[in-house]
C-alpha cells in the first residue's frame, strides 16, 4: 500500500480499517516522558526547544512537537490553556508549590509531582457542594490562541490531531483528588445519595471544560481524551455494578455532549488497571478507544481483548513498560511490539503506545528502538 | 434471637459500624471475654471479607467499610485486651519505601493486617531504610512490610534489605514486599520472605510468616 498521511492513517485505524501501518503515539495520556527522558532525547536529536510548556492533566510538559517530528509519530496534541494562576513548573528546576483554582495543592515530593490538599475532604452535606467555589470552565483565557493553533496544524501539517484531556481527570479522578481516595471509596459504599449529588455537580463543571475546548478545537481533531482510573492491578477498584448504576450515566452524558458538538470525534478513555469487567459498560457508555492496556494484568491480555471487544473498541497502548522497555534489549522490544501488533492490529483498530508513561529507567536506546521498530514492524498487511 | 457474636460477624461483613459497637458492648456485658470476641468473631469476619475480596465479590470500598466496622469493635475491646494481657498475633511495621509517596495499597494492607489481629506500626510513605532498621532494633517488630508503586522506587526495597543485612539484624525480622511493579519472582530474587499481590493475600502471608518464626 502507498504511504498514507498520519491523519489518514489514524482515520482508517479508528474506523477499524487497516491503514499502511500501525500509527504510533507519544504525548497523550499515559503516553508521556519524564522531564529527564525529554532532555535525553533533546540532546540526542539536538532539536531546539520551543520554550513553551503545555498543560497535560495536572502538570505540564515541554512542548513535544519538535521531538515528535524527530521521532516521526503520527499524532499531535492540542491542550487547553492553564489559567493565569496556574504555575507551569519545570520539574527539574526550582519548583514552586501552589494552590490551583480547585483548591488543590501542587507540590513536588521526593521528585514526584503530587496533587494534594483534598479541599472537599470534609464534605458532609449537599450544602457543602453548593457553597464550594467551583472553577468557571468558561474563562476565555483557557482557549487563548487555541483555535488558531488547531487551525494551523490542521491546514499546514498532515498529522492526526488529538484533544489532550482538558481536565485533570474526569469525575471519578477528580473526586479522588477533591475528596481524597478513602473518602471517595467510602462514599460509594455508604453515602450514595451524597456521592451522586457531588458527581452531578462535578460533571457539570467538567462538561463545561469540554464545551470550551471543543468550541476551539472540535472541527480539527479526530480524537478527544477522557481519563478515569477505575482499576487496580488485580481488578476493579469498586464494584462494576456501581459503575453501571451510578457513574455510567455521567460518562454517557459527557460523551453524548462531545459527539453532539463534534460528531466526527472519537472518544478515548484512559483507564489504568485490570478493568476487563468494566469494558462492556464502557462501550455502552460510548467510549471508542481504550488506553493504556496494561497487557500484563489479569484479564487485560490483548488477544482476548481484541477477540471480545475489538469490534467496538480501538486499543492504544499495551507495549510493556514495566519490564520490556525498562530492562529488555532491542530483540525483546521487537518481540513485544510484534506480539502486540499481531494481537491487536488485525483489521485496524490499534495505535502503538506503551502500557504506561515512559519512566526514568527506560534507557535512551530502548526509547529510540520503540519508535524505530514500531514503524518497521507495523506495516500492513500483517 | 441470635447471639451477639453472630450479629457482630454479620455487621462487619455489612460494614455497619454502629451495630458492631452495640453488639460488642452487649457481648462484653454477657461476659464473653474480649480475647474470644476478637479471635472468634472480629478476625474471622475480616478473614471472610478478605475471601470475598479475593473472589471478586467484594471490592476495596466494601473492604474499607468492613475494616472501619471492625475497628469500632476493636476500639471497645482494646482496653480489655490489654488488661487481660492478650497477645496480638505479632507486630508488623509497614511503609512505602524511600522516594515513593503512594499509600493507597499500603493503607489497605495495614487495614487487613489489623483485621487479622496484628499490631501494625504504620511508618507512612517515603520511609528511609534507617527508619525500618530503627523499628527492628527498638520496637522489635516481627515483620517488616515494604511497598513501592514505581519501577524507579522498587530498587529502594532492595537497598533497604541490603542495609538490614549489613546491620546484622536480618535474622531478627521477616520481610514481606508488595506493590504494583513487583512480582513473586522479584521478591524471591531479592531474598524477601514473603510477597503478596493484594491486601487480603498480605494478611495470609503475614500469618504464614509468623508460623515460621
The domain that contains B193 carries what CATH number?
Answer: 3.40.50.280
How many C-beta atoms surround the C-beta of residue B173 within 10 A?
A: 22
CB contact under 8 A, B59 and A360: no
Mean pLDDT computed over every residue of chain B: 92
Q: Which of A75-84, A87-96, A314-323 has the lowest mean pLDDT?
A: A87-96
Nearest to B69 by CA among B138, B130, B10, B157: B10
Q: What is the pLDDT of residues A106-163, one digit of tens each?
A: 998 766 788 999 999 999 999 999 999 999 999 999 999 999 999 999 999 999 999 9
Q: Which residue has the higher pLDDT, B117 or A284?
A: A284
Contact B114, B74 (CB under 8 A): yes
Name the A residues in 324-353 with CB < 8 Å from any B CB: 326
**Whether pLDDT at A1 is above 80:** no
The domain that contains B69 carries what CATH number?
Answer: 1.10.1240.10
Residues B66 and B99 in one domain: no
Q: What is the pLDDT of residues A150-161, one digit of tens each?
A: 999 999 999 999
**Whether pLDDT at A258 is above 80:** yes
Q: Which residue has the higher pLDDT, B180 or A283?
A: A283
Residues B100 and B58 in one domain: no
User: Does B100 reach chain A within 8 Å, measured CB to CB?
Assistant: yes
Residues of chain B with C-beta less than 8 angstroms from the C-beta of A112: 99-101
Q: What is the mean pLDDT of residues A347-352?
A: 98
On the 0-12 / 13-18 / 19+ scale of CB atoms within 10 A, A2 is: exposed
Q: Where are the alpha helices (DSSP H) in chain A?
A: 6-14, 35-45, 65-71, 126-131, 146-156, 171-179, 181-190, 192-217, 240-242, 248-261, 279-285, 302-309, 324-327, 330-344, 364-377
Q: What is the pLDDT of residues B159-183, one digit of tens each?
A: 999 999 999 999 999 999 999 889 9
Contact B93, B144 (CB under 8 A): yes
- Annotate B53-79 with DSSP letters as a single string: HHTTSS-HHHHHHHHHHHHHHHHHHHH
Q: Where are the domains of chain A?
A: 6-78+122-377
Of A236, A239, A322, the CB nearest to B151: A322
Q: What is the mean pLDDT of residues A50-58?
A: 93
What pLDDT shows up at residue A110?
62
Contact B97, B148 (CB under 8 A): yes
What pLDDT shows up at residue A163?
98
Among B83, B105, B140, the domain-final residue is B83
Buried b (16+ CB within 10 A) or exposed e, A327-357: ebeeebbbebbbbbbebbbeebbbbbbbbbe
The number of folded domains in chain B is 2
pLDDT grade for B118, boundaries at 50, 70 and 90: very high
Quote the percentage of chain A above a pLDDT of 70.
99
Q: A281: which residues sit within 8 A by CB, 6+ positions away? A: A240, A243, A244, A248
Interface test with A, best of B64, B112, B148, B200 (most A CBs within 10 A): B64
Of B64, B107, B150, the CB nearest to A186: B64
Residues B127 and B193 in one domain: yes
Of A181, A182, A234, the CB nearest to B197: A234
**Whether pLDDT at B1 is above 60:** no
Any idea which fold A6-78+122-377 has?
TIM Barrel (3.20.20)
Among B83, B102, B119, the domain-final residue is B83
Beta strands in A16-174 (DSSP E): 53-56, 59-62, 75-78, 98-99, 105-109, 112-116, 160-163
Q: Where are the alpha helices (DSSP H) in chain B?
A: 4-14, 17-29, 34-37, 43-54, 60-83, 104-115, 129-139, 155-166, 184-189, 199-212
What pLDDT shows up at residue A111?
67
Q: What is the mean pLDDT of residues A350-359?
A: 96
Residues B78 and B156 in one domain: no
Which domain, by its residues, includes B63? 4-83
Distance from CA of A187 to the nearest CA of B (A): 8
Q: What is the pLDDT of residues A199-249, one digit of tens each?
A: 999 999 999 999 999 999 999 999 999 999 999 888 999 999 999 999 999
Q: Write phi, then psi, for B144 (nearest 5 degrees).
A: -110, 135
Contact A362, B154 (CB under 8 A): no
Residues B104 and B38 in one domain: no
Q: What is the ipTM of this complex?
A: 0.82
What pLDDT shows up at residue B108?
86
User: Does A111 reach chain B within 8 Å, measured CB to CB?
Assistant: yes
Q: Which of A8-12, A204-208, A280-284, B71-75 has the lowest mean pLDDT?
A: B71-75
Mean pLDDT computed over every residue of chain A: 95
Residues of chain B with C-beta less than 8 angstroms from the C-beta of A235: 56, 59
Residues B57 and B97 in one domain: no
Residues of chain B with C-beta less than 8 angstroms from the C-beta of A247: none
Residues B108 and B176 in one domain: yes
Among B42, B63, B83, the domain-final residue is B83
Amino acid at each position: 500500500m502507498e504511504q498514507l498521511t498520519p491523519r489518514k492513517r489514524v482515520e482508517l485505524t479508528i474506523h477499524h480499517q487497516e491503514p499502511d501501518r500501525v500509527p504510533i503515539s507519544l504525548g497523550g495520556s499515559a503516553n508521556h516522558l519524564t522531564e529527564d527522558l525529554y532532555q535525553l532525547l533533546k540532546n540526542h536529536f539536538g532539536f531546539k526547544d520551543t520554550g513553551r510548556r503545555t498543560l497535560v492533566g495536572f502538570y505540564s510538559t515541554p512542548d513535544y512537537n519538535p521531538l515528535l517530528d524527530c521521532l516521526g509519530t503520527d499524532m499531535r496534541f492540542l491542550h487547553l490553556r492553564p489559567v493565569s494562576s496556574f504555575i507551569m513548573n519545570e520539574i527539574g528546576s526550582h519548583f514552586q508549590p501552589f494552590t490551583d483554582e480547585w483548591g488543590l495543592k501542587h507540590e513536588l515530593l521526593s521528585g514526584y509531582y503530587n496533587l494534594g490538599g483534598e479541599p472537599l475532604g470534609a464534605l458532609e452535606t449537599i450544602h457543602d457542594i453548593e457553597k464550594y467555589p467551583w472553577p468557571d470552565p468558561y474563562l476565555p483565557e483557557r482557549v487563548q490562541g487555541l483555535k488558531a493553533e488547531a487551525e494551523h496544524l490542521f491546514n499546514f501539517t498532515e498529522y492526526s490531531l488529538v484533544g489532550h484531556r482538558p481536565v485533570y481527570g474526569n469525575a471519578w479522578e477528580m473526586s479522588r483528588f477533591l475528596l481524597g481516595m478513602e473518602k471517595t471509596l467510602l462514599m460509594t459504599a455508604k453515602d450514595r445519595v451524597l456521592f451522586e449529588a457531588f458527581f452531578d455537580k462535578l460533571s457539570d463543571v467538567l462538561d463545561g471544560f469540554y464545551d470550551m475546548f471543543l468550541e476551539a478545537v472540535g472541527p480539527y481533531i479526530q480524537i478527544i481524551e477522557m481519563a478515569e482510573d477505575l482499576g487496580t492491578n488485580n481488578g476493579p477498584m469498586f464494584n462494576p455494578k456501581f459503575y453501571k448504576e451510578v457513574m455510567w450515566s455521567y460518562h454517557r452524558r459527557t460523551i453524548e455532549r462531545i459527539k453532539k458538538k463534534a460528531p466526527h470525534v472519537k472518544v478515548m478513555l484512559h483507564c489504568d488497571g485490570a478493568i476487563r469487567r468494566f469494558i462492556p459498560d464502557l462501550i455502552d457508555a460510548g467510549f471508542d478507544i481504550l488506553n493504556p492496556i496494561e497487557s500484563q494484568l489479569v484479564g487485560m491480555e490483548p488477544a482476548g481483548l481484541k477477540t471480545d471487544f475489538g469490534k467496538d473498541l480501538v486499543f492504544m497502548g499495551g507495549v510493556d513498560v514495566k519490564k520490556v522497555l525498562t530492562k529488555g534489549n532491542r530483540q525483546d522490544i521487537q518481540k513485544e511490539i510484534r506480539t502486540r501488533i499481531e494481537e491487536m492490529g488485525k483489521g485496524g483498530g490499534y495505535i502503538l503506545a506503551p502500557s504506561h508513561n515512559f519512566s526514568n529507567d527506560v534507557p535512551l536506546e530502548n526509547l529510540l528502538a520503540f519508535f524505530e521498530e514500531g514503524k518497521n514492524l507495523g506495516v500492513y498487511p500483517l | 434471637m441470635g447471639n451477639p457474636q453472630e450479629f457482630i460477624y454479620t455487621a462487619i461483613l455489612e460494614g455497619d459500624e454502629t451495630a458492631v459497637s452495640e453488639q460488642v458492648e452487649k457481648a462484653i456485658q454477657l461476659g464473653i471475654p474480649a480475647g474470644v470476641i476478637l479471635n472468634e468473631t472480629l478476625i474471622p469476619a475480616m478473614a471472610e471479607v478478605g475471601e470475598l475480596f479475593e473472589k471478586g465479590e467484594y471490592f476495596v470500598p466494601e473492604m474499607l467499610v468492613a475494616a472501619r466496622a471492625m475497628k469500632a469493635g476493636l476500639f471497645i475491646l482494646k482496653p480489655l485486651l490489654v488488661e487481660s494481657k492478650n497477645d496480638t498475633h505479632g507486630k508488623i511495621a509497614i511503609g512505602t519505601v524511600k522516594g515513593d509517596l503512594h499509600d493507597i495499597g499500603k493503607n489497605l494492607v495495614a487495614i487487613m493486617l489489623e483485621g487479622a489481629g496484628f499490631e501494625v506500626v504504620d511508618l507512612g510513605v517515603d520511609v528511609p531504610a534507617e527508619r525500618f532498621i530503627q523499628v527492628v532494633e527498638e520496637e522489635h517488630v516481627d515483620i517488616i512490610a515494604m511497598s513501592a508503586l514505581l519501577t524507579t522506587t522498587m530498587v529502594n526495597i532492595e537497598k533497604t534489605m541490603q542495609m538490614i543485612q549489613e546491620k546484622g539484624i536480618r535474622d531478627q525480622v521477616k520481610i514481606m514486599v508488595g506493590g504494583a511493579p513487583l512480582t513473586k519472582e522479584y521478591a524471591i530474587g531479592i531474598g524477601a520472605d514473603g510477597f503478596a499481590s493484594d491486601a487480603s493475600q498480605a494478611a495470609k502471608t503475614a500469618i504464614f510468616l509468623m508460623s515460621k518464626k
